[in-house]
């Protein structure tokens, strides 16, 4: 059994299987529309930023690889109905405890690269400013994740979807 689909014995016996890990998806792709993906790779080939991959269940976005510019090339290249007209991401970014600023190292890289100014730095006494991400302004473009020297910024699901 693959590690990403493995569930604990306790959860199996209680009838509570754990869902697989959340995978970031390109703009306009939902869990439902992902079922139409044939894994042809046309979207990944068309992406000028080269941040899309094809995995076993369809197209996925690699936040650590670079920023999505919402250009729409992936949607235009896709021969199926995988991409919706809305260009909203199903995820936002989240700053983990691995952040250099949280470890006492002055770093403002995420704030500096965020095109939406969704990351502000909160001053604190006795240490470097701490990043705070405004999820309302975050588009999920992953510019911050790609630039983070500590690999401390990851995509998390914006709003759980009904499957």
Q: What is the CATH number of the domain that holds 146?
A: 3.30.70.3270
SS3 106: coil
Enter the pTM of the model: 0.80
Task: Round to whole Å and give the CA distance between 115 and 138.
Answer: 9
Task: Round to whole Å and give the CA distance between 86 and 139.
Answer: 12
71 and 39 belong to one structural domain: yes
**Average confidence (pLDDT) per 10 residues, the chain, 163 residues:** 49 63 88 91 96 92 94 94 88 95 94 96 93 95 96 87 44
Concatenating the DSSP letter of every residue in 13-76 gives: HHT-PPPPPP----TT--HHHHTT-----HHHHH-TT--EEEETTEEEE-GGG-------HHHH
107 and 48 belong to one structural domain: no
59 and 110 belong to one structural domain: no
Q: Which domain holds residue 58?
A: 9-77
Which pLDDT score is estimated for 133? 96
22 and 51 belong to one structural domain: yes
52 and 100 belong to one structural domain: no
Q: Classify residue 160: in a domain, yes or no.
A: no
Q: What is the CATH number of the domain that holds 35?
A: 3.30.70.20
Contacts of 72-76 with CB under 8 Å at 24 or more apart are: 72/27, 73/46, 73/47, 73/48, 74/26, 74/27, 74/43, 74/44, 74/46, 74/47, 75/26, 75/27, 75/28, 75/43, 76/46
- Listed residues 44, 77, 110: the one ending a domain: 77
Which pLDDT score is estimated for 163? 38
Q: Classify residue 115: in a domain, yes or no.
A: yes
68 and 99 belong to one structural domain: no
Which pLDDT score is estimated for 5? 47
Which pLDDT score is estimated for 162? 44
- Listed residues 35, 50, 77: the one ending a domain: 77
Query: For 98, which DSSP code?
Result: T
73 and 14 belong to one structural domain: yes
60 and 110 belong to one structural domain: no
16 and 64 belong to one structural domain: yes
């Amino acid at each position: 059994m693959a590690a990403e689909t493995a569930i604990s014995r306790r959860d199996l016996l209680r009838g509570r299987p754990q869902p697989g890990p959340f995978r970031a998806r390109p703009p306009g792709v939902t869990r439902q529309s992902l079922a139409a993906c044939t894994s042809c790779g046309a979207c990944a080939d068309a992406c000028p930023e080269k941040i899309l991959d094809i995995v076993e269940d369809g197209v996925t976005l690699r936040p650590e690889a670079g920023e999505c510019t919402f250009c729409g090339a992936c949607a235009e290249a896709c021969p199926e109905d995988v991409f919706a007209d809305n260009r909203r991401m199903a995820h936002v970014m989240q700053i983990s405890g691995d952040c250099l600023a949280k470890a006492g190292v002055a770093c403002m890289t995420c704030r500096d690269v965020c095109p939406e100014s969704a990351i502000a730095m909160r001053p604190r006494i006795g240490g470097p400013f701490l990043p705070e991400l405004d999820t309302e302004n975050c588009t999920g473009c992953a510019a911050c994740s790609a630039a983070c020297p500590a690999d401390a910024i990851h995509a998390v699901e914006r709003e759980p979807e009904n499957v």
